[in-house]
Amino acid sequence: MKITLKVWRQKNKDSKGAFKTYEHSHVSSDMSFLEMLDVLNEALIKKNEEPIAFDHDCREGICGTCSLYINGHPHGPLQTTTCQLHMRSFQDGATITIEPWRAKAFPVVKDLVVDRTAFDRIQQVGGYVNVNTGGVPDANEIPIPKRIADEAFDAAACIGCGACVAACKNASAMLFVGAKVSQFALLPQGKVEKKERVEKMVAQMDAEGFGSCTNTYACEAECPKGIKIANIARMNREYFGAMLSSYQVETDGGE
């Protein structure tokens, strides 16, 4: 295969970036998208040119590190992670445009690499469950309806890749936060801290500069793990319930 790549090159977040065009003729249809970039980088190094910086880790569709915006879609034309996208998804002679995630909260580190530690900070402020040691029942002994367990597991499948942010016209992180809130809020083990958790996570999300949800469903359509927008509705219910509870406490205390 022969393809033309238009790749975003940017030295750092303080530099101006621009697209650079590469003609790539050593492409097999069986290559993954990242393998194709590996081969291109090898060719660039042989020509004493700086290779393209891009994120990757497990290359098994598990970690979500491989965050590339390809031809106007997070992770490319298929609802999967970039590392699981293969070149057979593109036509011979195709022109492929590759960009980093575009969001204020995800500043560019270099080329196609962005800083997604905003997600880490959101989880750190509220994404934990306290466990009391002693003579308490084992977690597996707490009866949980299968439907609830399945919903919690589905929410926990979020890998935090940021595709939802990249797909949203407002760069909203509400699908990610909704999934992280839901995976705890649905289970008995997460009930103790649920009020404090959702308040802190939503506050941190806003502080990081993410936008608001406008219900276009683009996040759900592009999510490689199929996280449902219903998690946003659950997060909103949890949040408004927590805020109402705080208001009632303040009002009662004032009397």
Domain shared by 62 and 13, yes or no:
yes
pTM for the model stands at: 0.90
At 132, the pLDDT band (50, 70, 90 cuts) reads: low
Residues in contact with 112: Cβ distance below 8 Å, sequence separation at least 6, in sequence order: 7, 8, 52, 53, 54, 55, 67, 68, 98, 99, 100
User: Do 207 and 135 share a structural domain?
Assistant: yes
Q: Of the candidates 63, 82, 110, which is a domain's last residue?
A: 110
Query: CA distances (Å), 83 to each of 34, 158, 162, in order?
Result: 6, 16, 15
d(CA 217, CA 213): 9
72 with 170, same domain: the answer is no
What percentage of residues in the chain have a pLDDT greater than 70?
90
Number of domains making up the chain: 2
Tens-digit pLDDT profile for residues 74-108: 999 999 999 999 999 999 999 999 999 999 999 99
Please report, for the domain that includes residue 155, its CATH number.
Answer: 1.10.1060.10
| Arithmetic mean of pLDDT, 231-241 | 95
The 10 Å Cβ neighbour count of residue 66 is 26
What's the confidence (pLDDT) of residue 140?
Answer: 66
Question: What pLDDT shows up at residue 40?
Answer: 97
- Same domain? 171 vs 248: yes
Examine the fold and report which residue of 76, 110, 144 is the final residue of a domain before the chain moves on: 110
User: Does the pLDDT at position 110 exceed 70?
Assistant: yes
Residues 84 and 38 in one domain: yes
Same-domain status, 33 and 61: yes
What's the first-to-final CA gap in the chain, in angstroms? Answer: 75
Domain identity same for 246 and 123: yes
What pLDDT does 237 receive?
Answer: 95
On average, the pLDDT of the chain sits at 92
Same domain? 189 vs 227: yes
173 and 203 share one domain: yes
**What is the pLDDT at residue 137?**
61
Residue 250 and residue 187 share a domain: yes
The stretch 107-128 carries a mean pLDDT of 93
Q: What is the pLDDT of residue 100?
A: 98
Average pLDDT, stretch 214-240?
Answer: 96
Residue 50: pLDDT over 80: yes
Q: Is residue 84 domain-shared with residue 58, that is, in the same domain?
A: yes
Give the CATH number, domain containing residue 30: 3.10.20.30
User: What is the average pLDDT across 180-206?
Assistant: 91
Residue where a domain terminates, one of 110, 127, 143: 110
- Going 26 to 28 to 32 to 33, the CA torsion angle's sign is positive
Residue 134 has pLDDT above 90, yes or no: no
Are 149 and 244 found together in one domain? yes
**Is the pLDDT reported for residue 71 higher than 90?**
yes
On whether the CB atoms of residues 227 and 154 are closer than 8 A, the answer is yes
* pLDDT given for residue 136 in this prediction: 61
Q: Which amino acid is at 197?
A: R
What integer pLDDT is reported at residue 174 of this predicted model? Answer: 97
> Which domain covers residue 71, as residue numbers?
3-110
